[in-house]
Amino acid sequence: MRAVGYFRETSGSQPLAEQSRAFLDFCRQNGYEAAATFLDPAAGDDCTGYRQLIEFLKQRSDRGFTVVVIPSLTSLGSDLWEAARRYFQLVSLGVKVMCLEDGADPGATLLSLWSEKKDERLGQKVQAAMRRKAVKGEVLGRPPFGYRVGPRRRLEILPEEAAVVRYIFRLYLRDGLGIRLIARRLNEEGVRTHRDGLWSMVTVRDILRNRSYLGTYSRFGVRVPASHPALISSDDFRRVQERLSSRRQEKAKRQTSLFLLSGLAYCGYCDNKMIGVSRRQRWRRRDGTEKGAEYRYYQCESRTNRSLCDYHTRRAGQLEEEVRQALLGNKSSAVVAVPKAGDDAALLKEAEARCRRLRGRLRRLDKRLEEYMNEAARGRISGERMRSLSVDVAAEGLSLEESLAEAERFIKQQASAAERQQQKERALARLRDEWDQLAPLGQQSLLGELLERVVVWDDSIRVLLRL
């Protein structure tokens, strides 16, 4: 599991350097790999660090194996509304959020804080709610798969789901299936998740690592054994963790390779992203010497994470070179320029109107999020339902914010048609003359400057130009 830290210097908070040290200590104590940290030196509307955090997470294909660590809920916003919106934005990206103060998901306290709506500072609200929950010993947040919340807010076994949990542990431990194959087996057999969705490697992995199935419930960093009925024996759970840890250590030894088309290549059959995959293989020759090779290729993400779609792969080096030759006009692949309407004045007017529409849609999304929170506070919808709806709204909001930022950049840096053509010609000249001298990051950046996306089929590609 990788951890990403986000820290914000607010009134009463520790200096950023101390927050960073506390984050690294937290990672060492919990066995997390510290992947990156993002800082905002002061409160305000221009939260560069938070925006960089969002962009960093969007570019990662392993978000399901990533946890965002914050000192407390106050780090996400100066008021409850801003903290709630940013919390759901992070969750919508598929990452977990965890507080340094208590090791818990801060989402568990949001609804109770929203219900109170007092004038006290957000930090005081968080601390008071944490103390009340700890004293009562209540289950916080959504119960783990296999359980439900009983009358005394203790976990009770949900027989249908509990059977699936035991089945997953048996497939992994007794039958020797890997996480991907287990997800595929469950999907093929029509088994559904908590939210009636398909199983992925992440959801299977999370169940195999969840200590709740030992009868231990963790809240605010304190483990409470024998809190509820166990589903898995301690011996089986220990053996599963040992196998998971050994596989994680093997993967940690591998060096990550840069894939030039990351975020740009899409499967032509299901329209999901193609992700870069590396495989190493060793074999022994007849003369007794050993030989090894690394195979790098792009594979449909639907196939990788959920065993959906078919086995569509393309060798990385070959696909990247095919795209480069298509851009240079040396390949018969379809190259399509993204449509640009009208002259410069018309483009500017269209961009301004688009900004107004996007801002209006964002305001409406904010209103919907507030309505969901209010409905849950009044008891008209469940906390789980509120969370699901809020995550969907936050995901749509992030997409709109990205589109708005692009439109605003276009307005700010509007160039004439001739300037845009010159920019394209300069990029193509670098692609032709300087490609071999560029470092991999430079090559990736240059392709990103030229390409909107590359649609990949087994025997052809379609290149869409950004410029």
In this prediction, residues 226-231 reach a mean pLDDT of: 86
**Contact between 310 and 303 (Cβ < 8 Å):** yes
pLDDT attached to residue 253? 46
Q: How confident is the model at residue 231 (pLDDT cuts 50, 70, 90)?
A: very high
* Residues 302-322 as b or e (16 or more Cβ within 10 Å = b): bbbbbbbbeebbbebeebbeb
Distance of CA 340 to the CA centre of its chain: 32
Residue 334 DSSP SS3: strand
Per the listing, tokens 């990736």 go with 444
pLDDT attached to residue 126? 57
pLDDT attached to residue 340? 46
**144: alpha, beta or left? (left if phi > 0; alpha if psi -120 to 50):** beta
Q: How far apart are CA 150 and CA 375, in angstroms?
A: 22
pLDDT attached to residue 219? 63
* Domains of the chain, residue spans: 2-136, 148-252, 344-414
* CA nearest to 262, candidates 402, 401, 453: 453
**pLDDT of 255 over the 70 cut:** no
- The tokens of 252 are what? 């940690």
Q: How far apart are CA 312 and CA 22, in angstroms?
A: 44
Per the listing, tokens 């089945």 go with 167
**Contact between 177 and 185 (Cβ < 8 Å):** yes
Question: How does pLDDT run across 149-172, given as a tens digit for each residue?
Answer: 887 778 899 999 999 999 999 999
How many residues comprise the chain? 467
Question: How does pLDDT run across 329-379, given as a tens digit for each residue?
Answer: 876 666 665 544 445 667 777 788 888 888 898 899 888 888 888 888 878
- The tokens of 273 are what? 């992203």
Q: What is the CATH T-level fold of the domain 2-136, as seen in this structure? A: Rossmann fold (3.40.50)
Percent of all residues in the chain with a pLDDT value above 90, rounded to a whole number: 14
Q: How far apart are CA 200 and CA 152, in angstroms?
A: 32
| Helix residue spans in 328-382 (DSSP H) | 344-377
**pLDDT of 195 over the 90 cut:** no
Residue 93 DSSP SS3: coil
**Contact between 366 and 85 (Cβ < 8 Å):** yes
Percent of all residues in the chain with a pLDDT value above 70, rounded to a whole number: 81
**pLDDT of 307 over the 80 cut:** no
Q: How many CB atoms lie within 10 A of CB 27?
A: 19
- Quote the mean pLDDT of the chain: 80
pLDDT attached to residue 414? 64
**pLDDT of 115 over the 80 cut:** no
Q: How far apart are CA 129 and CA 365, in angstroms?
A: 27
Residue 463 DSSP SS3: strand
| Helix residue spans in 210-315 (DSSP H) | 234-252, 301-306
Question: How does pLDDT run across 117-130, given as a tens digit for each residue?
Answer: 543 455 555 555 65
- DSSP class per residue in 160-178: HHHHHHHHHHHHHHTS---
Q: How far apart are CA 232 and CA 390, in angstroms?
A: 33
* CA nearest to 333, candidates 345, 347, 319: 319
Residue 68 DSSP SS3: strand
**Contact between 459 and 336 (Cβ < 8 Å):** no
- The tokens of 376 are what? 């849950």
pLDDT attached to residue 45? 57
**pTM for the model:** 0.43
66's CB contacts (< 8 A; 6+ apart) are 1, 2, 3, 4, 35, 57, 60, 95, 96
Q: How many CB atoms lie within 10 A of CB 173?
A: 17
Question: How does pLDDT run across 76-93, given as a tens digit for each residue?
Answer: 887 788 888 888 999 998
**Contact between 147 and 228 (Cβ < 8 Å):** yes
Which DSSP symbol is given to 414? -
The CA distances from residue 136 to 117, 240, 309, 353, 461, in Å, are: 21, 32, 47, 53, 59
Task: Among 7-16, 75-84, 162-171, 300-309, name the most confident range.
Answer: 162-171
Q: What is the CATH T-level fold of the domain 148-252, as seen in this structure? A: Hect, E3 ligase catalytic domain fold (3.90.1750)
**pLDDT of 132 over the 70 cut:** no
User: What are the residues facing 222 on neighbouring strands?
Assistant: 219
More confident residue, 204 or 73: 204
